[in-house]
């Protein structure tokens, strides 16, 4: 308090009194340095200036933070830690549209689709597909006759069958081979029972006959294979039976080959004067032929139908049921390829 009074007194006047106060004599004290009033005023001004600068800086920082907080949607009291570390930025990129949109070019498939037609017989409720290059025959024309072997016989154990259609493959399809003809034949016998439909007329009953049950496409069949042979011709026929609509359906898949005819001079041991210039004939690919025939069999569909009235042909009592044109030999089971 004494120091404050002393500072206040010293600041009230710039000059010392001319005469000391009366009544008391101040002792001679050493002269202590006192801060100059002018220097104190300068320091206070500097301190005030620095303070104002600091306050201005703090105010600017506060205003800056307030502006950032408003833009980011945060209040000044919210901590920085509450903000996401990596803000999600959604960028819309406009894709330029092509001038002319063209569909991509399709690669050409190496596989050729089989051009086929559909045969349908509503009277017997049977249908199948066949290649368009095949020759379709119906009614009487469907009764095929093999070269050197005679007519193709139906393989039912009882008479009453009717051949309704046949498809023949052309010779040019297997040119340069011993191929003579191949056929897909359809017959129906409404006179047979289910048990009789599982049997075949040939091979002969006294021979070892082997049949098999196989499924081709959606239909199950009883199957047997038989062979016929003449001097220059050989036939391989596969028979398939299916009992539906109270009738027995027969599908015959056959291949006939013809060997090269031997001249009479060669048979007699005489060298012919002029040898015929013929290209060498190679055996036909039997698997390929039956693959085409089996494809037709796999498309067979049998639907319910009302059969037309048929008259069974007269037959001599006790007459054996055997082929009249060719002798059919014992055959093994042939699975569908």
Is the link from the previous residue into 96 a cis peptide, with omega within 30 of 0?
no
pLDDT in tens, 106-123: 665 555 566 899 999 999
Q: Determine how many CB atoms are found less than 10 A away from the CB of residue 278.
A: 7
pLDDT on residue 274: 56
Q: What is the pTM of this model?
A: 0.56
In this prediction, residues 198-224 reach a mean pLDDT of 84
Q: In angstroms, rounded to a whole number, what is the distance separating the alpha carbons of residues 149 and 141?
A: 17
Q: Determine how many CB atoms are found less than 10 A away from the CB of residue 69.
A: 14
* Residue of 294, 286, 303 whose CA lies nearest to 123: 303
Q: Are 209 and 203 in contact (CB under 8 A)?
A: yes
In this prediction, residues 305-334 reach a mean pLDDT of 45
> Which segment, 34-38, 61-65, 238-242, is predicted with the most confidence on average?
238-242
Residue 234 pLDDT exceeds 70:
yes
Query: What is the Cα 30 distance to its own chain's centre?
Result: 117
pLDDT in tens, 21-33: 444 444 454 454 5
- Which position has the higher pLDDT, 19 or 258? 258
Q: Are 184 and 293 in contact (CB under 8 A)?
A: yes
Residue 333 pLDDT level (bands cut at 50, 70, 90): very low
Spatial CB neighbours of 336, under 8 Å, sequence gap ≥ 6: 214, 216, 294, 297, 298
pLDDT on residue 1: 45
| Exposure of 56 in the CB half-sphere (CA atoms within 13 A) | 6
Q: Is 14 exposed, middle or buried (0-12, 13-18, 19+ CB in 10 A)?
A: exposed
Average pLDDT over the chain, rounded to whole? Answer: 73
Pick the CATH number of 116-302 from 3.40.190.10, 1.20.1290.10, 3.40.1000.10, 3.30.470.20: 3.40.1000.10
pLDDT on residue 39: 54
pLDDT on residue 305: 80
In Å, how far are 70, 235, 259, 272, 290 from 232, measured between CA atoms? 106, 10, 5, 20, 21
Q: In angstroms, rounded to a whole number, what is the distance separating the alpha carbons of residues 318 and 210?
A: 25
Phi and psi angles of residue 215, each rounded to the nearest 5 degrees, phi first:
-115, 120
pLDDT on residue 52: 74
* Residue of 311, 130, 137, 167 whose CA lies nearest to 252: 167
- Which position has the higher pLDDT, 238 or 321? 238
pLDDT on residue 112: 56
pLDDT on residue 48: 73
Instruction: Write down the domain spans for the chain.
Output: 116-302
pLDDT on residue 302: 95
pLDDT in tens, 265-314: 544 555 655 555 556 689 999 999 999 999 999 999 999 887 665 544 44
Query: What is the Cα 254 distance to its own chain's centre?
Result: 35
Residue 187 pLDDT exceeds 60:
yes
pLDDT on residue 188: 97
Least confident piece of the model among 60-64, 191-195, 236-240: 60-64
Residue 73 pLDDT exceeds 60:
no
In this prediction, residues 191-216 reach a mean pLDDT of 84
pLDDT on residue 244: 96
Gyration radius of the chain over CA positions: 58
Least confident piece of the model among 36-45, 65-74, 206-215, 281-290: 65-74
Least confident piece of the model among 180-184, 247-251, 253-257, 331-335: 331-335
């Amino acid at each position: 308090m004494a120091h404050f009074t002393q500072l206040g007194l010293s600041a009230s006047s710039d000059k010392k009194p001319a005469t000391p106060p009366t009544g008391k004599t101040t002792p001679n004290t050493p002269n202590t340095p006192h801060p100059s009033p002018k220097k104190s005023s300068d320091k206070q001004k500097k301190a005030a200036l620095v303070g104002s600068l600091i306050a201005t800086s703090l105010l600017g920082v506060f205003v800056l933070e307030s502006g950032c907080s408003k833009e980011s949607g945060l209040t000044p009291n919210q901590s920085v830690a509450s903000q996401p570390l990596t803000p999600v930025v959604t960028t819309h990129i406009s894709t330029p549209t092509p001038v002319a949109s063209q569909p991509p070019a399709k690669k050409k498939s190496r596989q050729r689709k089989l051009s086929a037609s559909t045969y349908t017989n509503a009277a017997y409720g049977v249908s199948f597909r066949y290649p368009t290059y095949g020759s379709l025959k119906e009614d009487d024309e469907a009764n095929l006759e093999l070269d050197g072997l005679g007519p193709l016989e139906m393989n039912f154990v009882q008479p009453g069958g009717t051949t309704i259609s046949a498809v023949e493959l052309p010779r040019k399809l297997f040119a340069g081979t011993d191929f003579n003809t191949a056929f897909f034949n359809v017959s129906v016998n409404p006179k047979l029972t289910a048990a009789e439909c599982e049997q075949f007329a040939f091979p002969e009953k006294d021979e070892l006959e082997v049949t098999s049950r196989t499924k081709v496409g959606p239909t199950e069949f009883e199957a047997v294979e038989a062979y016929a042979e003449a001097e220059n011709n050989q036939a391989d026929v596969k028979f398939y039976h299916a009992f539906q609509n109270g009738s027995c359906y027969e599908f015959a898949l056959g291949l006939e080959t013809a060997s090269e005819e031997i001249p009479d001079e060669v048979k007699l041991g005489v060298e012919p004067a002029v040898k015929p210039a013929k290209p060498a004939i190679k055996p036909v690919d039997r698997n390929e032929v039956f693959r085409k025939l089996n494809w037709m069999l796999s498309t067979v569909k049998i639907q319910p139908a009302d059969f037309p009235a048929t008259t069974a042909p007269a037959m001599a009592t006790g007459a054996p049921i055997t082929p009249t044109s060719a002798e059919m030999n014992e055959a093994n089971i042939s699975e569908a390829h």
